[in-house]
Structure 1
Amino acid sequence: MDPEDDQAPADPLALIERERANLVRQIAPDPRLMYWPWGFAWLIGFTLFFLRYGPDGRVYVDLPDWLPLVVLMLLFIAAGITTGFAGSRSVRRTSGPTSRAGRLYGISWSISFFSLSVLFGRIANDLSEAQAGLLWAGGMVALTGTLHMAGSAIWQDRQLFVLGAWTSLINILGIAAGPGWHSLIVAVGGGAGMIVAGFLGWRRLR
């Protein structure tokens, strides 16, 4: 038997796999645009919170009280616009269940965060300033990790699950450490985790 006969059937399969990979690269959003804006937002924003509202009320840098929150919100808005634009371009290139799943997943983020905001707004006034800050930050980070893991089930993306699990782990460690330390742990661990995830996702697409 000619050895080439055994190789021939594999060629069409290799061609199909290669074309599938090319299609994914064409329609998938750039992971750097999806992760890096949020990664740098967490890294910069939560670092400012740590510097201004450190452990046990310590002030490492005497920043205006309003500055960390304003900077974090502006960075979140910029990140949301960037990822929304990148994601919408990908959705426009697809149709059917995939496109619908993307829209519903995006809407789920908005509804979930709004729901928690309403809840925390009702009970935060009954807590001290430090504990209220930990409630807001810990709750929002917990929701982010959960939605990442849920997204991994939708998109069959193992890396997204790892990122969600990692985000949940550092959030638990930060909450256990207490106010101030939570900001530092989330800034370094969470921000760096998203930056690394964006880089690895970009390499995988290449």
Structure 2
Amino acid sequence: MTPIDDDAPPLDPAESLALIERERHNLGRDLAPDPRLMFWPWGIAWLAGFTLFFLRFGPDGRVFVNLPEWLPLVALALLMVAAGITTGIAGSKVSRRVTGPSTRQGAMYGISWSIAFTAFSILFSQFSDLLPEDKAGLLWAGGMVALTGALHMAGGAVWNDRELFALGAWTSVINIAGILIGPGWHALIVAVAGGGGMIVAGLIGWLRLR
């Protein structure tokens, strides 16, 4: 008589552990947002936006491309708003399927970003008029990138995510290098190494999920 499922012999311990690990991996992949949607929009925003800053406000006041002065800032702001909307939608699709402490952690982490960037913006606006234009630009860009790196490292520590922590550390290191080299070069370094780093992080995360 052909055995039915109930008559099948039980798996040995090794096969059982392998099956459990495989199902855990599949569940984690289904519940995790696509890393490309979480990192690529920000990487593209930094790459394009800070490149415009470099072309218009280059080192030692050099103008590589005679763009309107308002264009780099407006372009970067619009790109970052679009990135925020994209990652917000991608994250909300996942959070609707998950409840419990992890959902609260994600919400508190997102609120931390909003409050921290608002506080830094208010602080910098009080002092930027007292600085030369190139130094004021470096204050804003360097401060915001520093905050991004710190929050990425904090997120990596909260969720035990080594890739996110490494991205935050990388962002912090290249930001320090750009600040030390000076205005103009900072924008180029953040565009290429910062934006490019986010694009690479999204690709690595996607390959790991696959």
Q: TM-score range by the shorter chain?
A: over 0.9
Percent identity between the aligned chains? 70
Name the structure 2 match of 1:176.
Answer: 180
Structure 2 residue 45 is the aligned partner of structure 1 residue 45: no
Q: Residues 96-152 of structure 1: CA distance to partner in whole angstroms, max 9, x if unpaired?
A: 101110100000000000000010011111111100000000000000000000000
After superposition, residues 37-116 of structure 1 pair within 5 angstroms as: 37-116=41-120
User: Match for residue 22 of structure 2?
Assistant: 18
Q: Tell me which amino acid in the other structure corresponds to 1:111.
A: I
Q: What is the alpha-carbon distance in structure 2 between the residues aligned to residue 14 and residue 97 of structure 1? A: 27
The answer for the alignment partner of 2:195 in structure 1 is: 191
Residue 138 of structure 1 is aligned with which of 139, 142, 146?
142
* Larger-gyration structure (1/2): 2
**Are 1:204 and 2:205 an aligned pair?**
no
Deviation for aligned residue 1:155: 1.2
Q: Give the 4+ runs in structure 1 shifted more than 4 A.
A: none
TM-score normalized with structure 1 length: 0.96
**1:7-46 C-alpha deviation (Å, 9 max, x unpaired):** 9211111111111111111110000000000000000000
| TM-score normalised by length of structure 2 | 0.94
3-state secondary structure, aligned to 2:155: helix
Q: Distance in 2 between matches of 1:75 and 1:199?
A: 20
CA distance in 1, matches of 2:97, 2:170: 31
Question: Which structure 2 residue ranges, 5 or more long, are not aligned?
Answer: 1-10
Which letter does structure 2 place at the counterpart of 1:172?
A: I
Q: Whole-Å Cα distance in 2 between the matches of residues 150 and 93 of structure 1?
A: 24
Q: Which moved more, 1:196-205 or 1:13-22?
A: 13-22
**1:127-183 deviation line (CA, Å, top 9, x unaligned):** 111000000000000000000000001111100011000000000000001000000
Q: What SS does structure 2 have at the residue aligned with 1:64?
A: coil
Equivalence for 1:4: none
